[in-house]
Amino acid sequence: MSRIGLIDYGMGNLHSVQRAFERIGTSVVAVHDSSAMEACEGLVLPGVGAFDPAMERLNSSGLAPAIHHWCQAGKPLLGICLGLQLLFEGSDEGLLPGLGLIKGRVVALPRKPGYPIPHMGWEPLLPAEPSPLLPTGSGESWVYFVHSYAARPSDSRCNTALVNFADQTVTAAVWQGAIGACQFHPEKSGDAGEAILRRWLAWLQD
């Protein structure tokens, strides 16, 4: 069984993510610094809140360069919600640079009457490029969203799932190299979210 590190920078939904992994038989360890990463086979970057405060905490704790080093070494990382947005170069929500591990920017969701922001609730994923999170033939997945911003990758081939919002499609999940991330909350998405986490773990063990 893989040893999973859950990055703790004070802005993540750690307990719900931890419980979700425990439900599928995987324990996680809290990661507060680079030394705690050494024994891990995969990292999870959760996040709830605003972009700039999250980057401030990652920078001040030394976790930002440690995450860079981890990903540049080709090691697996899974971002969740704000954790997806932090992987990009920047966000309309703030002024600070993001981690820049995936090229592109996080933009505000389009405003249109009848579509309240934040976008909150259950939506079906629209499959894009197949990935270990959402391989070909994985079936329909309804998942739970809470967000006001969405990533816009420079290379649309990073998108492994999209979601409809305000008569447009926006990024719901990405995959690049050994980096995967979900804008939705797999830990709050019932059987569909559990299946996505199981696929990620299975990919780690291949």
Catalytic residue selected from 71, 81, 158, 182:
81
* Residue 182 among the catalytic residues: no
* Cα gap 165→145, rounded to integer Å: 11
Determine whether 40 is an active site residue.
Answer: no
Distance CA 72, CA 65 (A): 10
Distance CA 100, CA 86 (A): 8
> Which residues are paired to 80 by β-bridges?
182
Cα→Cα distances 97→3, 64, 133, Å: 30, 11, 27
Whether 187 sits among the annotated catalytic residues: the reply is yes
DSSP 57-79: HHHHTTHHHHHHHHHHTT--EEE
Query: Which residues participate in catalysis according to the annotation?
Result: 81, 185, 187
